[in-house]
């Protein structure tokens, strides 16, 4: 699964959990539908806007997308790796 497909699925799942219509996330239903189907790649600005509407951090959307791509059982390794990288990069 490509990253844009995984991101679209994450956005769709969170939108549905919050019982929001596609129109509630962006300028048009067709635009959000294309993102959710992995046909369009949203800009960072759009990811920030969608994340704000969904009440999550933009980084969470991206991390969840990468986790959706990961083989089963690797989520903990990925998350601990991200945590270690961020801690290391912040200390330099």
Tens digits of per-residue pLDDT, 32-62? Answer: 999 999 999 999 999 999 999 999 999 999 9
* The model's pTM: 0.89
Highest mean pLDDT among 9-13, 78-82, 87-91 belongs to 9-13
- Cα(89)–Cα(3) distance, rounded to whole angstroms? 24
Task: For the chain, give every domain's residue range.
Answer: 3-91
CATH H-level, domain 3-91: superfamily: lambda repressor-like DNA-binding domains (1.10.260.40)
Is residue 51 a contact partner of residue 58, using CB atoms and an 8 Å limit? yes
Query: How far is residue 53 from each of residues 28, 61, 92, measured CA to CA in Å?
Result: 14, 12, 33
DSSP 23-59: GGTSS-HHHHHHHHTTSS---HHHHHHHHHHHTS-HH
């Amino acid at each position: 699964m490509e990253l844009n497909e995984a991101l679209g699925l994450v956005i769709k799942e969170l939108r549905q959990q919050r019982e929001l219509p596609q129109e509630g996330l962006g300028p048009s239903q067709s635009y959000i539908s294309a993102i959710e189907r992995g046909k369009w790649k949203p800009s960072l600005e759009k990811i920030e806007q969608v994340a704000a509407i969904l009440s999550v951090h933009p980084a969470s959307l991206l991390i969840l997308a990468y986790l959706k791509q990961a083989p089963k059982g690797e989520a903990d390794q990925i998350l601990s790796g991200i945590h270690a990288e961020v801690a290391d990069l912040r200390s330099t």
